[in-house]
Amino acid sequence: MKSRSAVVGKIFLVAMVALLSACATQYPPAPATAASSDYNYVIGPGDGLSIVVWRNPELSMNVPVRPDGKITTPLVEDLPAMGKDASTLARDVEKALSKYIRDPIVTVIVTGFVGPYSEQIRVVGEAARPQILPFKQKMSLLDVMIAVGGITDFADGNKASILRTAEGGKQYSVRLKDLLKRGDVSANVDMRPGDVLIIPQGWF
């Protein structure tokens, strides 16, 4: 029969191996800057659009983008809008209206920003207010944390990670505790469209 000290020693060894394994699977640090700075906003379901048809005020109106990604305006039904920028959609509206009026000139202005699901930022886990955020040009990790109200008292902030869908689901580690609790701005990184910020619970 094994002695109690031998059993305790074995348990300690197993615990240390598990701890070292957990450390070994830590993700690489997230890049400080995004790979691309030429982001172009594309329209998504829930966006609000102001469509102005020059010299035709009766055809100008504010419309929402439906859940199916389409819009309906006077003389134009079920026109796909999701995934297009404002200029591309304006040309599509002009093409549709040209069947009814001569040389239409259309301007599309996005007035309510949601964006397509594939480009939204998702914050899950131990955030004060986990939620989905529309991506914005030059958006940083700090911007995201301000929007969600920071982290909870139970969060293991320095074990947080970003799942980057733009890179096929590659995962990066981020240091939320250093950024939020210690004011370490070197822990701030750029976000990319479609990022998922995962904040785990700490073990106490």
CATH classification at residue 136: 3.10.560.10
| 78 and 154 both lie in a single domain | no
Distance, in Å, from the CA atom of 12 to the CA atom of 18, rounded to the nearest integer, reads 10
Residues 96, 147 share a domain: no
- Residue-number span of the structural domain to which 60 is assigned: 48-112
Based on the fold, state whether residues 176 and 136 are members of the same structural domain.
yes
The predicted pLDDT at position 203 comes to 73
Same domain, 153 and 84: no
For residues 166 and 93, state if they share a domain: no
Give yes or no: residues 67 and 91 share one domain.
Answer: yes
Label residues 124-150 b or e (16+ Cβ within 10 Å = b). ebbbeeeeebbbbeebbbbebbebbeb
22: three-class secondary structure by DSSP: helix
CB 190 within 8 A of CB 169: no
Query: How many domains in the chain?
Result: 2
Which pair of tokens denotes residue 102? 């001569």
Helix or strand or coil: residue 12? helix
78 shares a domain with 150: no
Does 53 reside within a domain? Answer: yes
CATH number at residue 69: 3.30.1950.10
Please give the model's pTM, rounded to 2 decimal places.
0.79
Domain termination residue (choose one: 56, 84, 112): 112
User: Do 96 and 58 share a structural domain?
Assistant: yes
- pLDDT value at position 204? 57
- Distance CA(146)–CA(8), nearest Å, equals 45
* pLDDT at position 37: 61
Which of 60, 78, 112 is the endpoint of a domain? 112
- Helices marked H in 26-105: 86-97
Domain membership of residue 34 (yes or no) is no
Question: Does 22 reside within a domain?
Answer: no
Per-residue pLDDT of the chain (204 residues; tens, 9 = 90+): 445 555 444 444 444 434 433 443 489 999 998 766 678 899 999 999 999 999 999 999 999 999 999 999 999 999 999 999 999 999 999 999 999 999 999 999 999 999 999 999 999 999 999 999 999 999 999 999 999 999 999 999 999 999 999 999 999 999 999 999 999 999 999 999 999 999 999 875
Those residues with Cβ within 8 angstroms of residue 108's Cβ, 6 or more apart along the chain or in another chain = 49, 50, 51, 52, 86, 87, 89, 90, 93
Residue 8 lies in a domain: no
pLDDT of 52: 98
Domain boundary among 112, 140, 160: 112
Q: What is the DSSP string of 100-161?
A: TSSS--EEEEEEE----GGG-EEEEESBSS-EEE---TT-BHHHHHHHTT-B-TTB-GGGEE
